[in-house]
Amino acid sequence: MYIVLAPGTGVDWADGPAGSWTLQETDDAGVPAAPAVVVPFADLPAAVRHFDQAHRGSAPVRWVWESARGVYGRMLAAGITVERCHDLALVRGILRYAESVPATPYTEKLRTQAPDEDPVPRQLLPVQASPDQTSIFDTLEAPDGAAAGSAHSTAGELAAELADQLDAVARSSSPARLNLLAAAESTGGMIAVEMESSGIPWRRDIHEAMLQDVLGPRPREGARPERLEQLAAELRRLLGNPGFNPDSPQELLRALHRAGIEVRSTRSWELEQHHHPAIEPLLEYKKLSRLLTANGWTWLDNWVRDGRFRPEYVVGGVVSGRWASRGGGALQIPKTVRDAVRPDPGHRLVVADAAQLEPRVLAALGQDSALAAAARGKDLYQGIADQNFNGDRAQAKMAMLGAMYGATSGEAGRLMPALTRSYPRAIEVVERGARAGEAGRTVSSHLGRSSPPVSDRWLRAQQSTNAEEQRRADSLARSQGRFTRNFVVQATAAEWALCWLAEIRRRLRAASAQAPAGDLVFFLHDEVMLHVPVPRVDEVTALVSDAAAAATRLLFGSIPLEFPVLVTAVGSYADAK
């Protein structure tokens, strides 16, 4: 069963919780099955417990909200957690492009509007509880009068969209898979909010000491740190240009040209091709400047409070389903600052990453027994190397990455025939994806996430008869082919990671009945970090590995392919790799 949860606009989080919330019970099709209930915010924890306990042992409650970002975060702040949910915004994003879903009025509305628009406009109407409403412990019933009507209209809109989404999933050519994707994506939304609430343990003192060690004392605002100022002076001397600003790409490029260093850009990889006394200090300047900008003192002031870094995750922020982050650079914590990520006293960080996730996913998608055999053991690339490249792991990795990402020319292209001969079923998966993209068709992941359709501009380019435009069209087609070639693999890998996260969360909650077993605090594509009390480290380490095996069975069933995870318990994130 589903219970729609809608906050009234009277909920004010600047001054503390106020106002009322609406709960609307529905059946498995999203059709309201009981009158809407309005409760004051203070009674919401009891209401959630009431519904969860009332359905314990039967069909579990799945809570429905517009977005975990707007609702579940508020619930967490009040100490309310739930087991399952349906996130309308996240599922909307999946259904927008899902090619397995036939056209319905709802999906047509989704597909004719831009992704950043709300396809089902709604207004959250003010909801106030009836003055004589009885306690949540006495009875749950809809209040009389206008308040009941307002409550119902707000929750009713959400329930109506739930029914539309459930109908679309049921009409899919693979409803079981799409339903699993909707559940996993929704759970990911909850986990993201929970991780933001927990925060990544961060030692500001260690971070500041590192900054001072490599940059010098914190400068006054607008000034360069001491070490960068020294390097800037050295660059001016070596380039014979006393007035130029090394922070300006245009001025730096002109200074390099005047010194006889002919480069097209100031990118590090291009600078490294040249031999000049200024190159080494320039590369050092760029590295330290990047540290200052991305993770310097200002970053600490903005993002680390009370010993925690709390970034904002964007679930499904990439079209393949991978997560993104908004501010703080959570998905790019550089090695230089990882030593500041340290657990609280009496705790350890349990860090786990899935070994070579994408090529293993490719083996599963292709049902390729030969590639599965190469994957047995921890190092898939070495297994491929032993079978094809005389044990040269570097060649095996280059060939496999080239196959998945479309680098099929040069050295990677030279190695491709060996992969095709040895693993034809796996390679056919990516080749079929590439051909679809080049033809302007969409492709889908294992559970049914589909790539966005090509643009009208792309289609017009393909129809041009002009020779120059045709060359451009061919280039666009190849680019789209490279995108769809990897989309199927990357999107399915993101699904595996979501199932892994959900399994870890479920098992943590089961193990925390008496005392917390640990908290998920960080996730990056194929890596998770948990903050765990020392006595529970061994238990949680095993739990994380078991969750990976469960995720594989959930996604692919029983297959002769392992998805091993490397798990380590550390006192500093810097020691995890």
DSSP string of 439-492, one letter each residue: TT---B-SS--BPPPPPHHHHHHHH---HHHHHHHHHHHHHHHHHHHHHHHHHH
Q: What is the pLDDT of residues 36-63, one digit of tens each?
A: 999 998 888 899 888 888 777 677 899 9
**Amino acid (1-letter code) at residue 429:** V
Query: Is pLDDT at 19 greater than 60 in this prediction?
Result: yes
pLDDT band at 422 (very low <50, low <70, confident <90, very high): very high
Domain assignment present for residue 419? The answer is yes
Please report the pLDDT score of residue 154 as a whole number: 83
Decide which of 282, 301, 320 is a domain's last residue. Answer: 301
Range of the structural domain that residue 254 is part of: 204-301
Instruction: Count up the domains in the chain and report the number.
Output: 4
pLDDT band at 470 (very low <50, low <70, confident <90, very high): confident
Domain assignment present for residue 375? The answer is yes
Output the CA torsion 377→379→385→387 (10° steps). 10
| Mean pLDDT for the chain overall | 88
Please report the pLDDT score of residue 133 as a whole number: 30
Please report the pLDDT score of residue 18 as a whole number: 58
Contact (Cβ atoms closer than 8 angstroms) between residue 340 and residue 202: yes
**pLDDT (mean) for 272-300:** 95
Least confident range of 54-68, 444-458, 532-546: 54-68
How far apart are alpha carbons 298 and 215 in whole angstroms? 14
Of 118 and 436, the structure prediction assigns the larger pLDDT to: 436
Please report the pLDDT score of residue 17 as a whole number: 54
How far apart are alpha carbons 85 and 89 in whole angstroms? 12
Task: Name the pTM for this structure.
Answer: 0.89
Q: At 203, is the secondary structure helix, strand, or coil?
A: coil
Output the CA torsion 89→90→92→97 (10° steps). 150
**pLDDT (mean) for 72-76:** 89
Read off φ and ψ for residue 567, nearest 5 degrees. Answer: -120, 130
Q: Are residues 14 and 137 in the same domain?
A: yes
CATH of the domain at 234: 1.20.1060.10
Q: Are residues 68 and 190 in the same domain?
A: yes
Q: What is the pLDDT of residues 114-147, one digit of tens each?
A: 655 443 333 322 333 333 333 333 334 433 333 3
Please report the pLDDT score of residue 56 as a whole number: 73
Please report the pLDDT score of residue 571 as a whole number: 97
Domain assignment present for residue 307? The answer is no
Q: At 566, is the secondary structure helix, strand, or coil?
A: strand
Structure tokens at 281: 């200090």
Q: What is the pLDDT of residues 291-349, one digit of tens each?
A: 999 999 999 999 999 999 998 999 999 999 999 988 788 788 889 999 999 999 999 99
Please report the pLDDT score of residue 561 as a whole number: 92
**pLDDT (mean) for 501-524:** 94
Q: Are residues 171 and 223 in the same domain?
A: no
Please report the pLDDT score of residue 329 as a whole number: 82
Q: What is the pLDDT of residues 75-122, one digit of tens each?
A: 898 888 999 999 999 999 999 999 999 999 999 999 887 655 443 333
Q: Are residues 262 and 211 in the same domain?
A: yes
Please report the pLDDT score of residue 42 as a whole number: 86
**Amino acid (1-letter code) at residue 468:** E
Output the CA torsion 129→131→132→136 (10° steps). 30
Q: Are residues 168 and 243 in the same domain?
A: no
Query: Is pLDDT at 540 greater than 80 in this prediction?
Result: yes
**pLDDT (mean) for 514-521:** 92
Q: Are residues 182 and 56 in the same domain?
A: yes
Domain assignment present for residue 477? The answer is yes
Q: Are residues 55 and 195 in the same domain?
A: yes
Q: Are residues 208 and 179 in the same domain?
A: no
Domain assignment present for residue 460? The answer is yes
Q: Are residues 64 and 170 in the same domain?
A: yes
pLDDT band at 285 (very low <50, low <70, confident <90, very high): very high
Q: Sign of the C-alpha dihedral, residues 248, 253, 254, 255?
A: positive
- Nearest in space to 31 (alpha carbons), one of 67, 60, 1: 1
CATH of the domain at 325: 3.30.70.370
pLDDT band at 152 (very low <50, low <70, confident <90, very high): very low
How far apart are alpha carbons 568 and 67 in whole angstroms? 34
- Nearest in space to 280 (alpha carbons), one of 235, 336, 226: 235
Domain assignment present for residue 507? The answer is yes
Q: Are residues 352 and 430 in the same domain?
A: no
Please report the pLDDT score of residue 414 as a whole number: 87
Provide the angle, in degrees to the nearest 10, between the axes of the packed helices 175-198 and 467-511: 70
Structure tokens at 10: 């009277």
Domain assignment present for residue 306? The answer is no
What DSSP character marks residue 335?
G
Q: Are residues 171 and 277 in the same domain?
A: no
Q: Are residues 10 and 72 in the same domain?
A: yes
